[in-house]
Structure 1
């Protein structure tokens, strides 16, 4: 089983959950979470233990977000097609994906993880440049990954759920 399927299960992404997560509001609001988490990490220097409150709120929002919005009215938005492609990618051990789509996603995930490590270091040390560079690397990798998922969705038929 692909490790991403475990993650999807943790977020309760069943048939209806994936459809709701494909709403552009779900995808774009999730994009705001990482810089807000970095800000919360930095805020510990200003507000101390009170930083745990926004941290818990962000964690809660991250968990509920994929089910918070209704299914999209239209299925042609870039981020919607990216989520639909991600759903195909998560199921790649059951439904094979074309060979030319198998190499880059794991590399982009690794690049995103490296960016996250740099971001965590920057936040832990309260250093601005590692924080910003890590954030930029993580976002570049994530957006490139979503774009690859759009391409995967298109290559595998481009249909709606």
Structure 2
């Protein structure tokens, strides 16, 4: 089982919640989590323990986000297809994905995203606005590039399986 598949189990993603997460509002609003966590942590001296409450709210938002939106009216958009491609990618241990998608680029993008998170942690500790901006930019650019590759994967795979094709409407 892939690491990503284990993570999806943590988020309790099933057929219904995957389609809810494919709602573009779900995809775009998840980009708010990291800045909210940074701001909540930066408020630790001003708000004291209340900042921990704000961090917990941000993490709760991250977990609830895929669950609270409705099924999208259409999945013929970049954000929805990125989720659908991610769903396929999670099953790459059981599915034969095209050779040009079996690349180390995806691992590199995950590492760059983790580096961005590490820079954000530094920014939180030292109250560095520039580090926060750099960390957020690195995290979100690498994540967005990864999601773009997932759109490509979905486009390449949707004709290979009726189930995948049915996800697009």
What TM-score, normalized to structure 1?
Answer: 0.95
Structure 2 distance, partners of 1:100, 1:45, is: 49
1:53-102 alpha-carbon deviations (Å, 9 max, x no partner): 21111111111111111111101111000000000111110112112112
Q: 1:15 is matched with which residue?
A: 15
Structure 2 distance, partners of 1:112, 1:2, is: 18
| Aligned residue-pair number | 161
Q: Does the 8 Å contact 1:111/1:138 carry over to 2? A: yes
Q: Does the 8 Å contact 1:24/1:72 carry over to 2? A: yes
Structure 2 distance, partners of 1:135, 1:114, is: 10
Q: 2:162 is matched with which residue?
A: none
1:50 deviation in Å?
Answer: 1.2
Q: Within 5 A, what are the aligned runs for 1:49-60?
A: 49-60=49-60
Q: Which runs of 5+ in 2 are unaligned?
A: 160-164
Structure 1 distance, partners of 2:150, 2:136, is: 21
Q: Does the 8 Å contact 2:41/2:52 carry over to 1? A: no
What TM-score, normalized to structure 2?
Answer: 0.91
Structure 1 distance, partners of 2:76, 2:137, is: 27
Structure 2 distance, partners of 1:160, 1:69, is: 20
1:45 deviation in Å?
Answer: 2.9
Does 2:92 correspond to 1:102? no
Return structure 1 stretches of 4+ with deviation > 4 angstroms.
none
Does 2:95 correspond to 1:71? no
